[in-house]
Amino acid sequence: MSLRPRSGEQVPSLTAQIARASNPGGTTAMWVRDRLDGLWRDDDFAGWYPRDGRPGISPAQLATVSVLQFLLGLSDRQAAEAVRCRIDFKYAMAMELDDPGFHHSVLADFRERLAQDDRADRLLDLALAR
């Protein structure tokens, strides 16, 4: 899979409206989006993916899902299901409500890429700097 960077992705208005209406007090996923948005950008992951091939899922979105997965104690299957089914996860990832999400194996692949070299440390340093 190749990287096709997205930039400045905003939460779709219908997703935001329904997420706020159904969760007026917010959720952990909404808190993560509202407070931690911008910690990573797809360009930060450019060296992790080849330039050719079918476009992959946004690595910044996968990093967000990984944070939510850790915070909520979810398995890969549960996290992928939450992306498919939960409005607050779609909000956190700036997805349209009808976005089908991704297969759970994508998260293992992302963690594998993250474990190479000192990538995790570099992402943490970048997040702390921002």
Q: Is the pTM of this model over 0.85?
A: no
* Alpha-carbon span 126 to 117, nearest angstrom: 16
N- to C-terminal Cα distance for the chain? Answer: 28
User: Mean pLDDT for the chain?
Assistant: 86
Place of tokens 């905003």: 10
Alpha carbon 31 to chain centroid distance? 13
Nearest to 66 by CA among 26, 24, 126, 115: 115
Alpha carbon 51 to chain centroid distance? 20
Element (H, E) at 60: helix 59-72
pLDDT, tens digit, 9 for 90 and up, residues 6-62: 545 789 999 999 999 999 999 999 998 998 876 788 777 777 766 666 667 888 888
User: Do residues 82 and 68 lie in contact, with contact meaning Cβ atoms separated by under 8 Å?
Assistant: yes
* Alpha-carbon span 2 to 59, nearest angstrom: 11
- Tokens describing residue 51: 């330039």
Comparison of pLDDT for 17 and 125, the residue scoring more: 17
* pLDDT in the model for residue 53: 67
User: Do residues 59 and 110 lie in contact, with contact meaning Cβ atoms separated by under 8 Å?
Assistant: yes
